[in-house]
Every structure is written in C-alpha cells, then in structure tokens.
Amino acid sequence: MSLIRFEVVDGVATLTLDYPQRKNALSTEMRVGIVAAIERIRADPDIGAVVLTGAGGDFSAGGDISAMHELTPSSVRQRLLDAHRWLEQLMNLDRPVIAAVDGAAFGAGFGLALAADFVLASDRARFCMAFARIGLAPDFGVFYTLPRVVGLQRAKEIIYSAREIPATEAKALGLVLEVVPVERLLPRAREIARGLAQGSQVAFGLTKRILNRAFETGPATLFELEADAQGVAMSTDYFREAIARFGRKEPPLLHWPAAPTED
C-alpha cells in the first residue's frame, strides 16, 4: 500500500503523507513514495504547482524511530545521501511547492516542510527540531535551510533546545508565511497554488536555483546567473504571450490571492 496519496486538480498536485497511525513518520516506504511523486511531477508539464501535506491531523513526526536501532553509521550516511538527492530535487523543482502543516512537524518532518517554497500552518500546528531529545544532530537538509530562514543564532536555539514552536511564533520567526484555521489550511494552500500554477515553469525554475545559491555566491557570479536566466526566460512562449496580454490590457495569468484578513 502506498503511503503517499497523489492527486491533481486544476493543475495543482497534492501530495499527502498518509501514514497517520505513525503520525506520518518518514519511513523507507514513505520516502520511496515521495521520490515517485516528485518524478511524476517533473514528467508532467500540466502540473503547475504542488501542495505537500499530511493526513490525520499531523504533517510528519519525523524519522521512524522504531527502525533507527537497526542502522549502522554507514547505512545512516547512505540513507541520508539518498534523501538529500530528492530533497534537492524538491527544493529546485520548477514548480512552486507549498507545505500545508497541521499538527506536528517534528525533526525530519520539520526539515521536509522547510524544503518547500512556502509554509502555511494551521492554528494548531507545532514545529520542533526534536533531534537533540534523542542525542542526534539535525538532518533532512536542516543545516542548509534553517539558518537561511531564521539566522544562525536563532537556528542554534531552536536546535539545541528542541522546544516546540507554536504556529504563531513560527510565523513571527519567518518559518511560516500564514497561519489559518485548520479548516482553511488545505483550501488556502490550494488557492495560492492555483494562482501560482499559471506562472512560467522556466522562470520559477531559474529563480529557485539562483535563490538557493544566493547566500554562498558572490555578487559577480549572481549577476552573471541573473543575466543568463533573463535571456532564457525572455525566449519562452510564456513571456511572449504575457507581453501580448499586457498589450491587450488583459490581466496576467499569474496571480497571488490576497491573504485572509486577521480579526
């Protein structure tokens, strides 16, 4: 039985981690399902955006602790290198990726959420870098993603303390873009995804790959990458049609729906 539910509606692929009896722990079977889903998305040009979420009231509680005692240092290393390959594919995917987080996003589950372009959270979501609780260093790309979002000192505090971060604080720290009531979480994520699905996959892909290198790349190299990217983007049919729509005074296809107002 697959532990990933995959559905496509209106150009938006929704990937649901579906192992609720284990709080969507990232078991070997779950990881295989995620890899297969990424491959399906990359092969389907009609998919314009992705929503990643979890079943049963949790995003993911992280690694499958019940299987960890069987791992050796070499098998751990290989397991993570395999995960890093598809995490990098997810982070550089030429479609926007939105993580819709309800309940727990702990450990590797927190890392998986950070691999998305945007994180939306329900008002009952909780985030925790739980690794230190069992004497582990972070994994699932956290050394790359977390300091980029919150800065080095705050990243150390979040990792060392292994404390739970409620959704409202996660938003204040920049870990979460929006906090919404739980019943609005998936509809809001899909609403944003439908608007972004109308964008240029070429432009999104180029933009992501450059932004993901921005912190460790000097200005001269970034300027060159920018110039190359713009040349490629301007050669696409999407750009030509967008310019034609502008000339006809038609609205752009791409749109970001306004955020819900807060009480």
Question: 82 an active-site residue?
Answer: no
178-180 and 118-122 as β-strands: parallel, antiparallel, unpaired?
parallel
| Active-site position among 18, 94, 102, 139 | 139
Question: 139 an active-site residue?
Answer: yes
- Partnered with residue 148 across adjacent β-strands are none
How far is the C-alpha of 227 from the C-alpha of 225, rounded, in Å?
A: 5
| Active-site position among 84, 102, 123, 237 | 84
How far is the C-alpha of 37 from the C-alpha of 96, rounded, in Å?
A: 15
Residue 102 CB-half CA count within 13 A: 23
Type of residue found at 89: Q
Q: Taking a C-beta distance cutoff of 8 angstroms, is the pair 45, 19 a contact?
A: no
Helix (DSSP H) and strand (DSSP E) numbers for the chain: 10, 9
Helix (H) or strand (E) holding 160: helix 152-161
Q: Which residues are catalytic?
A: 84, 139
